[in-house]
Amino acid sequence: MLPSAPSLPFGGPKSAVDNEEFLPGTKLAAEEGLYAKNSPNDSDTTIAERNRACGQKYFRKRMWGTMNQFRAVLLDRDCWMQHMMLSPETGMDPPGVKLRAAQGLDAADYLFPGYWVWARMISNLAAIGYDSNNMHLAAYDWRLSFPDLEKRDAYFSKLKSNIELTYESSGGRDDGAAVIITHSMGSLVFQYFLNWVESSKGGNGGKGWAEKYLHGWVNIGGPMLGVPKSVSSVISGETRDTAHLNAFGAYILEHFFSRQERADLFRSWGGLSSMFLYGGDELWGSANEPAPDEPRAPREPLMSPPEHMTPKSTHPESTTVLNSPPSASPPLDKNTTVEQPLANPSFAHLISITKAEHPAGAPEEKSSYANVTTGDMMEFLGRVVGKKRREMWDASYDFGLAKSKKDLKRAKEVPTMWSNALLAPLPKFKRGFKIICEYGVGLRTERKYFYTPDAVADANASGKNATKGSSIFALDLTVQDPDRNVENGVQMTNGDATVPLLSLGYMCAKGWKLKRYNPSGAEVVIREHQDKRLGGPIVPSLRGGPGSADHVDIMGNYALTEDILRIVAGADDNIEDRIYSNIQEIADRVKLPDGLD
């Protein structure tokens, strides 16, 4: 018999033969107590905790993306869940688990074989001369809260160093300043970084760092005001595709894990909570008046060219009209009692909850709604997920709105405010700095949810198995109204199929045009992309094609790619606003506090 080898920090006990690739390291760790320096988060992990981990067979394998994920979920679902879920106590690695973001240009080029994300963009940048010496993909662990990205991985410190190195490698020339390209949640990460990097409580780069090292920012599909479906995923574990779950990833979770398991997983991800809704009732609508993006007339088209468009910004595609969104509705009191679900179609209520059905034989009563606005969001979520999780979210993010100049000034030194564009102003940028907002429009996008505390299907039910646990809420699948774009308890609006138009475009159309949020007056350009999918009834396209406006597929959109290539080549003088939606009208309806500009 061969002696048993010591356990690994990331796997259970194995024989010396099975642990051969880790010898003599495991032997020295056990006999001499060798352990990596500067690893305070791991050094207290006990041997027993390491033995509970199951990750040895997945050493250097990807647990998210590639076919390894599918195999792990299919054959070893509990181990996969153990690795993907963060600690409910710390929001970081559970004991005995080490899972880190892949690095390099191939970290986010393909999610699965054939399913590209950044690959098309990287290839096109290479076509005009960019390579790994002057192009850096700053991959991050999107499960972690933004403060924990720095605490565990020194993510923002590394990003700062890479940007500085790129600049210095160019000889310190002005054209060596970096163009930052962000997609989806990455836009919020960069918003946080812009405040972190100059703050004495962050990167300590001092005032002027952004002005020196940054040339421009291309914001692709950035949910600057958050994503409604991030809220729904932590309430009930029901989601189709969030900003980091594509359709295939959502399929795996929904068919192999119960709703309760999915809810627990999503709630553990502090990064997901960064996409809760910012701005409160002023941005998303209150109980007393419609939301800014509320349709103002019955059957108002989802897509039509707004009146303010000029010949410069008008495009032949702008005449397309898609399905109409919900009709406008009068304001409802939060405690309104109604008999039919769609008596309350207002966007101003992010969530409407029906009363559970009465047991057989009980007297019938009207169904009452508890209407939750965005201003009520965190209090409501706290009741759903518990005090501990709510406190962790509050320690990472502030979802409020600047009400005074004092708030704007204070936000620069309060880390919880750094991801919030409605609280933390942009830093000073150099002359010629541009923020170019590229996003898709014209696709049905989740905006509001109808929930019931009495699940239609048991919280433990999933496609393949059932486990212990229960969920407090479930989508009310009985709520249906095609005329108001309500399907299976979800009300839709205009957007890129993941992020609503309000979140995609408000900061670009109005917020960053104001001195309070853009004190140096950096130019902001909107480039909307109307969906023009390829494929037909005989050979449908699995992806949207070069004209797609979908949240992920837009990364292969030819028009977007052309814009980016011109921007990074310094040939962007003719890139001007191109607007198909009514985002300007929506933005003008938002009433911000006076006197801050």
**HEC states along 441-473?**
ECEEEEEEEEEECCCCCCCCECCCCECCCCCCC
CB 513 within 8 A of CB 421: no
User: What's the pTM?
Assistant: 0.85
Give the pLDDT of the chain (597 residues) as one tens digit per residue: 334 445 555 555 555 445 677 778 777 777 787 878 765 444 444 443 444 457 677 777 787 777 777 777 888 888 889 999 999 999 999 988 889 999 999 888 887 777 889 999 999 999 999 999 999 999 999 999 999 999 999 999 999 999 999 999 988 887 889 999 999 999 999 999 999 999 999 999 999 999 999 999 999 999 999 999 999 999 998 865 543 455 556 666 777 888 889 899 999 999 999 999 999 999 999 988 889 999 876 555 555 444 333 433 433 333 222 232 333 333 323 333 333 444 456 898 999 987 644 334 333 433 344 789 999 999 999 999 999 999 999 999 999 999 999 999 999 999 999 999 999 999 999 999 999 999 999 999 999 999 988 544 445 544 444 334 345 788 888 888 888 888 889 999 999 999 999 999 999 999 999 999 999 999 999 999 999 876 554 445 567 889 999 999 999 999 999 999 999 999 999 999 999 999 999 999 999 999 999
Residue 558 within any structural domain of the chain? yes
Bond prior to 228 in cis (omega within 30° of 0): no
Strands (E), 49-192: 110-112, 115-116, 178-183
Report, as residue numbers or ranges, the catalytic residues: 184, 496, 551
Residue 267 within any structural domain of the chain? yes
Task: Show contacts of 161-169: CB within 8 Å, 24+ apart.
Answer: 162/136, 162/138, 163/213, 163/214, 164/213, 166/134, 166/136, 167/212, 167/213, 169/133, 169/134
If one counts the domains in the chain, the total is 1
Residue 113 within any structural domain of the chain? no
- For 92, the 3-state DSSP assignment is coil
The token duo for 309 is: 């468009």
Q: Which amino acid is at 295?
A: P
DSSP 533-564: --B-SSSB-SS--TT--STTGGGG-HHHHHHH
Residue 512 within any structural domain of the chain? yes
CB 527 within 8 A of CB 434: no
Residue 110 within any structural domain of the chain? no
Residue 323 within any structural domain of the chain? yes
Residue 456 within any structural domain of the chain? yes
Longest dimension (CA), the chain: 82
Residue 20 within any structural domain of the chain? no
Instruction: Show the domain range for 273.
Output: 228-589
CB 551 within 8 A of CB 242: no
